[in-house]
Structure 1
Amino acid sequence: MAEIVLYGADWCGDCRRAKAWLREHGVAFTEVDVEHDDAARDKAIEIAGGRKNIPVVVLPDGKVLVEPTNTQLAEAIEV
């Protein structure tokens, strides 16, 4: 199974919350820091359809969640 990719930044409260939710539910993910990587930031904006909100969560099926709530994460990820 492909892994979930989370584009975010350490200072972002929503990013910390989403990462904590994923960890609590044993969901493997790769974190991409958009604060220190301009190419990653540009990629996250592109994936999010031009939105600059983070986190941007890319699911294995290609679905993209931008700034998802815990409920949205739970609905999108079968845990």
Structure 2
Amino acid sequence: MTVTAPQPGSVTMFTTTWCGYCRNLKKQMTSAGIAFTEIDIEQTPDAARLVAEVNDGNEVVPTVLFTDGTTATNPSLSEVRKRLEA
């Protein structure tokens, strides 16, 4: 799977359908007007592998990919905002 960095001002969020933390962060980002692309790691080939690579072998969601290519695991809305402003 090839994932390109998101457009400036947006993020890519790796999720699953059953993840409560994912649903919560999606609602918060939507309310805050933060654009995101969602990738379900159970439905997208190799997405789980990419998430595991950045999380010490664990398929932890939500994992958020920022425009600079860095990631955050289960970040708060505050952290997402700060990293987008940087």
Q: TM-score of the superposition, structure 2-length normalised? A: 0.75
1:46 to 50, 53, 63: 53
Q: 1:6 aligns with which of 13, 20, 24?
A: 13
| CA shift for structure 1 position 40 | 1.1
Give aligned pairs, total: 78
Q: CA deviation at 1:70?
A: 3.0
Segments of structure 1 that go 5 or more residues without pairing to the other structure are: none
Identity %: 28
Alpha-carbon distance between aligned partners in 1 of 2:54 and 2:71, rounded to the nearest angstrom:
7
Which residue, 6, 24, 29 being the options, matches 2:31? 24
Runs of 4+ in 1 over 3 A off after TM superposition: none
The amino acid of 2:42's aligned partner reads E
The TM-score normalised by the length of structure 1 is 0.81
The RMSD of aligned alpha carbons is 1.9
Q: Is the 8 A contact 2:21 2:74 kept in 1?
A: yes
Unaligned ranges ≥5, structure 2: 1-5
1:48–1:64 Cα contact (<8 Å) kept: no
Q: Which amino acid aligns with 2:35?
A: A
Report the CA distance between 1:44 and its aligned residue.
1.4
Q: Could you tell me how far 1:17 is from its partner in structure 2? A: 0.8
Counterpart secondary structure, 2:29: helix
Cα pair 1:9 1:35 within 8 Å, conserved:
yes
